[in-house]
Structure 1
Amino acid sequence: MTRATQPTRDGVAARPVSRVDEALRRLREEGERVTPGRRAVLETLDAAYGHLDAEAICAAVTETTPGVHRATVYRSLQALTDLGVLTHTHVPGSATIYHLTPQARQSHAHLQCTHCHRFFDLPVADLEPLRESVRSATGFEIDPCHAALLGTCVDCASSSGD
């Protein structure tokens, strides 16, 4: 994971800017408050391995920041998504998943196996030929980051004997 660095001062090496720091900077630039709930949600998602739904985020925030109420977590998720700091992806037959909004060069779509339910990240650029084809044929603009694409992963395909 690439992290930006802060400018150097007096020849002292800069420390990396964390994704949480970057998100908090964006909030402040928009004139938004940095609350304990918002910070806890951002830190939870930054530390997460994989994709988290709101329930998993609530559980983690409750563990790390006991004073933050679950309603605050849900309001924070909505506000941070509305502000573009978080990205959510709708998962068919399951809960919406959240993560910190990646930089444009790191944007990814989500693939989900309908058999084992694992998620896979796919660079958005890999879907560009499909997006262009649909755009040319119909004028429709696909948003590849908003919903998970369903299919069968290689492990499940090879174990099914097909």
Structure 2
Amino acid sequence: MSNARIALARLKASGLRLTKQRRDLIGYLSTHEDSYVPVTAVDAYLRGVHPGLSHDTIYRNVKAFESLGILEEATQGEQATVKLQCDFQHPHHHHFICTQCHRVQELKMCPLGYFEQQVPGAQIASHNFELYGLCAACARAK
């Protein structure tokens, strides 16, 4: 089953209405599955397709989708970015992000255990771990 179909099924199961705008949000992100998309680009796309749609509605849907595990959010520089969840079976995962082509690769290991050892007795509430650099293809082309 494709990630877009899983996302639509999760949206239906959540009790939120499956509106055309929400379908279009999932559809747009499914065409960019390998990379994060600036939230401003998502906003521009959806407002182009649905001219009456407000910025607030778009951002509320992005936040709701993130809390449902449909979207992953990251900050790149000063910019908020999102992508469709790349692994619905293992929602807790980390990424390598190419700084040139913006492709995203899922990392199969979480380094939290290593860092927990460095702060004994601490109660870690959350964490985020991303690697940035050139992917193999971009490094070869350089």
* Counterpart for residue 59 of structure 2: 74
* Counterpart for residue 65 of structure 1: 50
What is the percent sequence identity of the aligned residues? 21
Higher relative contact order (CA 8 A, sep 6+): 2
The TM-score normalised by the length of structure 1 is: 0.64
Question: Aligned in 2, Cα 1:28/1:51: closer, same or farther, shift over 3 Å?
Answer: same
Aligned with residue 24 of structure 2, among 35, 40, 60: 40
Aligned with residue 143 of structure 1, among 109, 128, 137: 128
Aligned with residue 105 of structure 2, among 122, 126, 133: 122
Aligned pair 1:88/2:73, yes or no?
yes
Unaligned runs of 5+ in 1: 5-17
In the TM superposition, residue 22 of structure 1 has moved relative to its aligned partner by: 1.9
Which protein is richer in strand relative to its size? 2
Question: Which structure has the greater CA radius of gyration?
Answer: 1
Pairwise CA RMSD of aligned residues? 3.1
The TM-score normalised by the length of structure 2 is: 0.71
Given that residues 94 and 128 in structure 2 are in contact (C-alpha distance below 8 angstroms), is that contact kept between their aligned partners in structure 1?
A: no
Q: Distance in 2 between matches of 1:65 and 1:19?
A: 24
In the TM superposition, residue 152 of structure 1 has moved relative to its aligned partner by: 6.2
1:26-75 C-alpha deviation (Å, 9 max, x unpaired): 12212222223222211111122632111101122233334433332111
Q: How many residues align?
A: 134
